[in-house]
Structure 1
Amino acid sequence: MLRNRLSRRLSRHIACLLAIALLLLAGPSHADEDAMLAKVHAFLHERAAGSGDEVAIEVHPPRADLPACARPDIFLPRAADRPVGRVSVGVRCGDQGQRVRYLQAEIHVTGHHVELARDVRAGETIRPEDLTEVAGRLDRLPRQAVLDPDRAIGQEATRQLAAGVTLQRYHLRPRPLVRRGQQVVVEARGAGFRVTRSAEALAPGGQGERIRVRLPDREILEARVIGEGRMAVDF
């Protein structure tokens, strides 16, 4: 009888040790994983803020059990203007960030983007009446989609575009205010002085672009386009 009781106690002791060992081998607790996922969610929400009217984020947990991640340092392997759609998120773990793991997330954004209200010819300047704002899922749009009408108004179409097209950045270029070989006025300003000189533009340029100009004495400067046939040199 005593032998049986000792045998049962020994069996329970061994079973308890095995359970502890399995817990130690099982990796991080659900609480650790949930805390890390919450930090990843907050990081993505901060990065996606302002991308649209509504943002919904789903972070997929790792498929395999992994050790607990102490002091997670979260980053985006591919920096983007607006992280939307399916994205990969990196997490550095440990004091020195020596261990890196990657998670997948879905960022759904609802908002407005810009479409053309009429056909536009190549080289034509975009006017406010040429555009219409459309509501929808921004994460389903091309990465270069134009969301703000002000980014398109005053720009020049790089190609012929049909009505209903979602405008993308490569569809547009700054409207040339200065053309190559044109005689322009170059303005130089400093503390207490303002000087203007005539010069020859050596390249075309749109608003804000920097191009080279040649002065009458053959000196070549780089100047910024500030208007029709007008340039500025900053000191």
Structure 2
Amino acid sequence: MLLGSLVFLPGTADADDETLTQRVHQFLYQKTQTLGEEVVIELRAPSPHLPACLNPTPFLPNADQAPLGRVSVGVRCGEQQRQIRYLQAQIDVIGPYAVAAEDISRGTPITDAMLDTQRGNLGELSSRALTDADEIIGNVARRPIRRGSTFQAHDIQAPRLVERGQRVTVIAKGPAFRIAREGEAMDDGGLNERIRVRFGPREILEARITGEGVLQIDF
């Protein structure tokens, strides 16, 4: 069960500001409740010199990045949502994260036995750290990883299913047809990556890798 708490950093807050900060806190709590076991959100009170924010609607400027550590939260205000202001927050999430249970050499496929679990403040980890074992297992180490280290996104890659120069089968599929052709891969690639395939001196197409030596073009 995730426990949450809110701390207001020094500042002056009236009733409208309290509504704003409560709305932002609820938004951040929803965004972080799946990340760990306990979350502490520190919000800096809005500037007292700004006008009231009516109908506040929070959003994250970096929507693809988990809201951990020091983050900036955008808030749209007013009936037309045309006014935008930003609040600063410090988000600490306590929970488990994966680390290497042993030294892992470059090119090694990563298995469950190679992982261990530690518990701590996820906000203190690198923004590119992978905390979920499911994101790591089955990938290949791109560089040596030391025992006890966290896994960074750039440390691992999907296993190569196609190598440059390899003869591959490309399947073109549509609502009422299916055509298979043989070509030459012009790039290395892993599952669901798109690479170029040469079919002749002047015919090069891009296709998505769906299996070992197999690619697909969707129409």
TM-score normalised by length of structure 1: 0.78
70-79 or 224-233, which moves further after superposition? 70-79
Q: Distance in 2 between matches of 1:136 and 1:228?
A: 39
| Aligned match of 1:139 | 123
Is 1:117 matched up with 2:101? yes
**Structure-to-structure mapping, 1:71-220, within 5 angstroms:** 71-97=55-81, 99-215=83-199, 219-220=203-204
| Aligned match of 1:62 | 46
**1:63 Cα offset (Å):** 5.3
Q: Distance in 2 between matches of 1:92 and 1:232?
A: 42
| SS of 2:106 mapped into structure 1 | coil
Q: Tell me which protein shows more strand as a share of its residues.
A: 2
| Aligned match of 1:35 | 19
Closer, same or farther in 2 for the Cα pair 1:224/1:72, shift >3 Å?
A: same
Unmatched 5+ stretches in structure 1: 1-27
| SS of 1:74 mapped into structure 2 | strand
Q: Distance in 2 between matches of 1:200 and 1:131?
A: 37
**1:193 Cα offset (Å):** 4.0
Q: Distance in 1 between matches of 2:192 and 2:13?
A: 55
Closer, same or farther in 2 for the Cα pair 1:157/1:37, shift >3 Å?
A: same
Unmatched 5+ stretches in structure 2: 1-11
Q: Distance in 2 between matches of 1:216 and 1:111?
A: 53
| Aligned match of 1:52 | 36
Closer, same or farther in 2 for the Cα pair 1:230/1:45, shift >3 Å?
A: same
**1:39 Cα offset (Å):** 0.9
Closer, same or farther in 2 for the Cα pair 1:229/1:73, shift >3 Å?
A: same
**1:141 Cα offset (Å):** 0.8
Provide, for residues 192-222 of structure 1, a one-character-per-residue CA deviation record: whole Å limited to 9, x for no partner. 5433222110111111111111225753221
> How many aligned positions are there?
208
**1:68 Cα offset (Å):** 2.6
Q: Tell me which protein shows more helix as a share of its residues.
A: 1
Q: Distance in 2 between matches of 1:34 and 1:52?
A: 26
Q: Which amino acid aligns with 2:157?
A: R
212-221 or 40-49, which moves further after superposition? 212-221
Q: Which amino acid aligns with 1:178?
A: V
Structure number with bigger Rg: 1
Q: Which amino acid aligns with 2:122?
A: L
Percent identity over the alignment?
45
Q: Distance in 2 between matches of 1:62 and 1:168?
A: 35
